[in-house]
Structure 1
């Protein structure tokens, strides 16, 4: 990814690059300037803000979950390398070949299939977070194709996409990654206290690592887990959002999986 980023000239202030973003070590866990949901729909603005912003720590020396900036930077890498948005690239190169019913950005003909998100008991959004559940239930959100938080699917389709990694790069006769490419996800980028999550974590290239298992949770409690040794993927999605409790729910699912493997 660092080579791709160099060719695409995607660099962040302070010397960080897309490899640092994948490992959540770029020092850009959020924008310093206030950002709204409407701003997120303007990919050029949020990309420029990320590129110009001074990192909160020297890239590579610490880590903090880059929940929204992660998608903005990686979406720009894909755009510059392929000439396509991340949503279009994903549809044509990943979901299409796998026949996976997962979308980054949703077309109007699928609106009737969406289960609206239900706000968490503790409120529409965490303190300081620029977007809320009410934003995610709008047509503007569905059409925007937000790289970090604009995915639409179900547990089956999320698992189908991630099964490529679990199975060494090929599923059902469709090869999307080399075996070596799959191993890149397990290159540890950081081990220690995450400055945003406030918990110890090992970050690989885009995933949380635990031995030969990688995982990550989505907004409000969704989860995907990939186990290379057992060639298995576990996914969980929901429409009832919880904030702190949602992460606890995901961790309990990880613990349950660990108990049976």
Structure 2
């Protein structure tokens, strides 16, 4: 439902923006339009404030692949924003007493105890501490179509020795996160993470969000596209070599494998088969309005529905990795781009400020973003089709103006 209020109109020197905002939120519309000026793709921005939709904007851009129309109900791939959806399912089960996040994974998934992983906890999976950053042990990783065989990938992870001692270091699990946490969710609930999300989260809230896009919703899908070509395997190998890693060591091979697997699954999301399969870490599909509504229901009531208690949300956003570094020799790499994690969610840092201290959420490759700030009651969903954001370069320039405008409208400080 579109919020009543000022209609969005093009601003001088900015892309055409449609939709509406409630009074007092006009600056968000203007900043969103300015951020669209150099964006060849389509995008959507939605903001909820204390359960009420106050910003509902979209812009078709000039680069929507496939010629499909783009409007407020269009959906696209969310990439790693998907991880937040998986985390919600884990916290739902934890809040109900069915899942102990501090328990060993093997309590729920006995096969996982193999190869030195008996003491790995569920929290280790949710915080990228598990030491399993790739599906394959070789530099080429696991390719298609094998990458889409969910059961095989889960069995591989259960048998695989960790690259580092679980819990002792933190390094992003770009794709394996979803299979690891998702298998625990399946063992506990009897449903896949996509099924649980559909029945317990998306259904009650009426969300256009899926982990595994149904055929009936395929007509809404608009493909993503990369503005720059992905790095070649040679370029990835050169980058990894520049980090000081032993070229044929397990960590170097895992980083190369993860990059290859990410490129392969991104290609797969351009196919119906890739969109239909559950790929929990990166393959969720949805729109900004639904993403914002999801986060709003985490921090307050939305049409009578609240997903998690304040106590659970506080636990979810408590820092879990600030005391850890990446595994050696990557531990010498710090600075503003080192990730910070709560239990399944990203936390603010200079390279990803979100909505400031106290906020939590998750960004996705190319520029997608979902986040919330409990004290102010703000929840945000941003979806785009042009993959332009490079996390190593700092926050997406498209975000800068409207995130500042959202904070100002909500009465949050401009900087923490």
Q: Is the TM-score greater than 0.5?
A: yes
Please say if residues 220 and 246 of structure 1, whose CA atoms lie closer than 8 Å, have aligned partners that are also in contact: no
> Is 1:23 the counterpart of 2:161 in the alignment?
no
Residue 209 of structure 1 deviates from its aligned partner by: 1.6
Give 1:38's match in structure 2, choosing from 142, 145, 149. Answer: 145
Q: Secondary structure at the residue paired with 2:384? A: coil
Please say if residues 265 and 274 of structure 2, whose CA atoms lie closer than 8 Å, have aligned partners that are also in contact: no
Please say if residues 119 and 134 of structure 1, whose CA atoms lie closer than 8 Å, have aligned partners that are also in contact: no
User: Pairwise CA RMSD of aligned residues?
Assistant: 2.7
- Higher relative contact order by CA 8 Å / sep ≥ 6: 1 or 2? 2
The count of residues paired between Structure 1 and Structure 2 equals: 259
- Equivalent runs, 1:213-252 vs 2, <5 Å: 213-242=359-388, 244=390, 248-250=394-396
Decide whether aligned partners of structure 1 residues 88 and 132 sit closer, same or farther in structure 2, where only a CA change above 3 A counts: closer
Decide whether aligned partners of structure 1 residues 20 and 247 sit closer, same or farther in structure 2, where only a CA change above 3 A counts: farther
Match of 1:104 in 2: 211
Match of 2:302 in 1: 171
Please say if residues 124 and 167 of structure 2, whose CA atoms lie closer than 8 Å, have aligned partners that are also in contact: yes
Match of 1:9 in 2: 109
Match of 2:178 in 1: 71
Residue 232 of structure 1 deviates from its aligned partner by: 0.7
Give 2:270's match in structure 1, choosing from 137, 140, 143. Answer: 137
CA distance, structure 2, for counterparts of residue 129 and residue 206 of structure 1: 24
Q: Secondary structure at the residue paired with 1:175? A: coil
TM-superposition CA deviations, 1:77-115 (whole Å, max 9, x none) = 111111111111101000000111111111112111111
Match of 2:193 in 1: 86
For structure 2, the residue ranges without an aligned partner over 5 or more in a row are 1-100, 237-258, 349-356
CA distance, structure 2, for counterparts of residue 247 and residue 70 of structure 1: 24
Please say if residues 365 and 390 of structure 2, whose CA atoms lie closer than 8 Å, have aligned partners that are also in contact: no
TM-score by length of 1: 0.87
Match of 1:208 in 2: 346
**Larger deviation: 216-225 or 245-254?**
245-254
Residue 176 of structure 1 deviates from its aligned partner by: 2.2
Residue 3 of structure 1 deviates from its aligned partner by: 3.9
Residue 64 of structure 1 deviates from its aligned partner by: 0.7
CA distance, structure 2, for counterparts of residue 32 and residue 189 of structure 1: 27
Please say if residues 40 and 146 of structure 1, whose CA atoms lie closer than 8 Å, have aligned partners that are also in contact: no
- Report the structure number with the largest CA radius of gyration: 2
CA distance, structure 2, for counterparts of residue 200 and residue 85 of structure 1: 31
Q: Secondary structure at the residue paired with 1:217? A: strand
Match of 1:48 in 2: 155
**Larger deviation: 127-136 or 2-11?**
2-11
For structure 1, the residue ranges without an aligned partner over 5 or more in a row are none
**Larger deviation: 45-54 or 94-103?**
45-54
Q: Secondary structure at the residue paired with 1:174? A: coil
